[in-house]
Structure 1
Amino acid sequence: MSRIDVFVAPRPNPALIKIMTFVNRIVMLHGIPGLRDILPFNRVAGLRGVANVRHIDFPDADLERLRARCGAGKATFITPNHPEFFTDWMLDKEIVSQVSPLAASWATNGVVNGLGRLMQKFWLANNLIAQIPGNSEAAKEHSVAWALKGHGVLLHPEGGVGWHANIVAPLLPGAVEMGLEALKRGRTAGSDFQVWIAPVVWKLAFTRNVEAALAKECTYVEKSLKIERRAADTLPQRIHHIYSTLLARDEAAWGMPSDERETYAERQQILVAKLGRRLGEDISVDAVVTDTTELLRLARRWQRENTGDAERQKKVRALADMIQRLQRVGPWASANPRITQEEIAEHLKRIRNDYCRSGLRDTMNRFIPQPAGPRCAHIRVPDPLGLHEHAGSVDDAVAELHRRMQDTVTGTVAELAANGGFIFYPNPFYRP
């Protein structure tokens, strides 16, 4: 096995963690006051704030709600939503620095193990837990043991980033499963031991009109993907046209006609259904599986169990990747008649992540995506879920956790909209 697939337990260094908390707050989030708004300093990400989060709106009541569920005598698994890459780590670190400074955080093995020995040592000293795909038992065992010591463990229950901050994706059960294991072990020492799943959600909102910057990024995407801009299109219509053109290319690649009379969602569903049938045939699924989530799970298992057939592996992986990529524009995209600048920015980042591969600029964008302008992070803490009080199944607990997170996100977005926090446009994906 390569180093990237081998779990190494974190070795937290409290002094380094404290230093990096300060660096994160200034360099990664806020920037340096007095320089961050002055040319040419505002073009330097480290002076402006790499994630350009100027303000953090974290009400005292929410902070205390989270703080009360962390500490000695309890095991706590902190589960933030995952709407944006890179900024998530920075906000997560800021949050845990205030409630559980030595909390361990899950991250992909490509980050923890894949950047060389020196960076691996650095990440392990910052208490990052490497998630090894298909082999996460060691990470789970370490997480349970660390949580039982009274330190929090943070992981994103949505899994990968979807770039849809208003919608919480279906949750994975890992936090609940580890919580139940911690409860079983903790109760051997005392019947009053508590285990908490503590959800956190955040919503980023621009602090000013950033249409010009979004239009500039949209132009870059159009040129990179060789998509002709239609002169009369508004900014949201340009986004829709990019997606429609990319979908037409996929349809043509699979010998399907592109019917412009149908909505984007209808065309997408037809193509995904065809690809799903082909994937089912390739992995020899006996029955027709209409649930693509289940089909993709079966495809991942097939790849783990059939490593000897390289050509077939490549074909299955390509099909599964295409289905996942197409589904990243979900029903939420066409659910509302209006679209915000924040949602336009998410579309652009998703397109760049999934389709743009022209060089270093696109590679850097995938790892450290740059926002179109300064933002405020609105952080809220739904009611934590006490597993020591929960009598239902793992699925019941996951469903309840999802409900609490989604309700809080929806409420936060509605509150910001009512206070004039967003700039709206007609949504070209919407169909009544």
Structure 2
Amino acid sequence: FFTDWMIDKEIVSQVSPLAASWATHGVVNGLGRIMQKFWLANNLIAQIPGNSGAAKEHSIAWALKGHGVLLHPEGGVGWHANVVGSLLPGAVEMGFEALKRGRATDQDCRIWIAPVVWKLAFTKNVEPALAQECAYVEKSLKIERRAADTLPERIHHVYATLLSRDEIACGMAPDERASYAARQTQLLLELSRRLGEGISFDPGANEIAELLRRSRRWLRENTGDAERQKQVRTLADTIQRLQRVGPWASVNSRITQEEIAEHLKRVRNDYCKGTLRDTINRFVPQPAGPRCAHIRVPEPLGLHAFRGSIDDALAELHSRMQAAVTTSVAELEAAGGFIFYQNPFYHR
């Protein structure tokens, strides 16, 4: 969050100094009244799950005044910098609504969505620092280090151990001969089946996103049964946490130091909790070394000239963003900007 916001502020200070920015309500409202006052003074908008009407109205009105509105279209930080995740529809929905209102008084009103992407790359070899952080994760999660393991293998062992714990908690016997991806898929299917039973919804093999959406709605509408609330919330949270290691993790046979760092940050954010150090790290995670942000601005999408649906616009934005990220990564690799290792998550 902190790194993204600092880069955001650097960009908007140059091109749109009065831009409003969206952030999770836990950041805007969850750090006390003094910090809330600071965030609001910086025109930070609180995204409140299930109650975003006021935030959307403010954003549309602000855009119609000629200012920018900044959103993180993936929603949260996933630590998969080479892959653009699924985009949330908020920016497109608000853009079309702003266009509708603007055209009511000005037929020449134009609304743009300007995507911005960046790739963070270390400027030197940071393996010692990554190994030190990995040791902290192993100790914090009580995972024994295997002496012969390389740094990537240590991280894979951490994730495999955590997956085994989830399998055992679910009543499944871990199959250590199977790949991480195969075991993860089987566990997700079983957890999805149980969550579906809990909220009376039959999820298909590729409907986990819809299942999670319905579970959030179920939790809002069924507050009277504390025990079922706990069961549904635990299942939904576990599914979301497991999904954060996506298929992209096992696609390539090589892994970079940047990707190793992302695995470490993700596991610290998702599993290492309960101490002040871990709480601070979730808001201001420290990089393993100095990095350079390679910032790219794909072609903006003019909604005033776009004839497709909201889904069509999201698909077009995703395509432009992914192409920009892929090009940046290829350029950096060609220039020798990465240090590579064998990827233990790789699954042909």
Higher helix share: 2
Give the one of 422, 428, 431 matched to 2:338: 422
- For 2:43, the aligned partner's letter is N
Give the one of 280, 292, 308 matched to 1:392: 308
Tell me the equivalent position of 2:291.
375
Q: Secondary structure, in 3 states, of the residue corresponding to 1:425?
A: strand
| Structure with larger RCO (C-alpha < 8 A, sep 6+) | 2
How many residues are aligned here? 347
Q: Secondary structure, in 3 states, of the residue corresponding to 2:119?
A: strand
- For 2:175, the aligned partner's letter is D
Structure 1, unmatched stretches of 5+, are: 1-84
Contact 2:25 / 2:46 at 8 angstroms: preserved in 1? yes
Structure 2, unmatched stretches of 5+, are: none
Cα shift readout 1:318-344 (whole Å, capped 9, x = no counterpart) = 100000000100000001011000000
Contact 2:22 / 2:71 at 8 angstroms: preserved in 1? yes
Tell me the equivalent position of 1:182.
98
Tell me the equivalent position of 1:337.
253
Give the one of 220, 225, 238 matched to 1:304: 220
Q: CA deviation at 1:115?
A: 2.0
Cα distance between partner residues in 1 of 2:223 and 2:38: 33
Give the one of 271, 274, 289 matched to 2:204: 289
- For 1:241, the aligned partner's letter is H
- For 1:264, the aligned partner's letter is Y
Tell me the equivalent position of 2:35.
119
Tell me the equivalent position of 1:62.
none
Contact 1:280 / 1:289 at 8 angstroms: preserved in 2? no
Contact 2:28 / 2:36 at 8 angstroms: preserved in 1? yes
* Paired residues for 1:35-54 under 5 Å: none
Q: Secondary structure, in 3 states, of the residue corresponding to 1:378?
A: strand
Cα distance between partner residues in 1 of 2:78 and 2:267: 11
Contact 2:181 / 2:347 at 8 angstroms: preserved in 1? no
Which is further off, 108-117 or 224-233? 108-117
Cα distance between partner residues in 2 of 1:206 and 1:114: 32
Cα distance between partner residues in 1 of 2:331 and 2:39: 37
Cα distance between partner residues in 2 of 1:288 and 1:246: 25
Cα distance between partner residues in 1 of 2:321 and 2:267: 26
Cα shift readout 1:230-257 (whole Å, capped 9, x = no counterpart) = 1111000001011011111111111111
Displaced runs of 4 or more, over 6 A: none
Within the alignment, does 1:229 sit opposite 2:156 as a pair? no
Cα shift readout 1:46-82 (whole Å, capped 9, x = no counterpart) = xxxxxxxxxxxxxxxxxxxxxxxxxxxxxxxxxxxxx
Tell me the equivalent position of 1:402.
318
* Paired residues for 1:231-270 under 5 Å: 231-270=147-186
- For 1:199, the aligned partner's letter is P
Which is further off, 305-314 or 165-174? 305-314
Within the alignment, does 1:154 sit opposite 2:70 as a pair? yes
- Seq. identity, %: 78
Q: CA deviation at 1:307?
A: 1.4
Q: CA deviation at 1:117?
A: 2.2
Contact 1:205 / 1:422 at 8 angstroms: preserved in 2? yes
* Paired residues for 1:269-284 under 5 Å: 269-284=185-200
Cα distance between partner residues in 1 of 2:340 and 2:254: 6
- For 1:266, the aligned partner's letter is A
Contact 2:250 / 2:346 at 8 angstroms: preserved in 1? yes
Within the alignment, does 1:191 sit opposite 2:107 as a pair? yes
Q: CA deviation at 1:111?
A: 1.3
TM-score, normalised on structure 2? 0.98
- For 2:263, the aligned partner's letter is H
Q: CA deviation at 1:122?
A: 1.4
Contact 1:224 / 1:358 at 8 angstroms: preserved in 2? no
Tell me the equivalent position of 2:11.
95
Which is further off, 168-177 or 184-193? 184-193
Cα distance between partner residues in 2 of 1:122 and 1:391: 40
Cα distance between partner residues in 1 of 2:87 and 2:203: 25
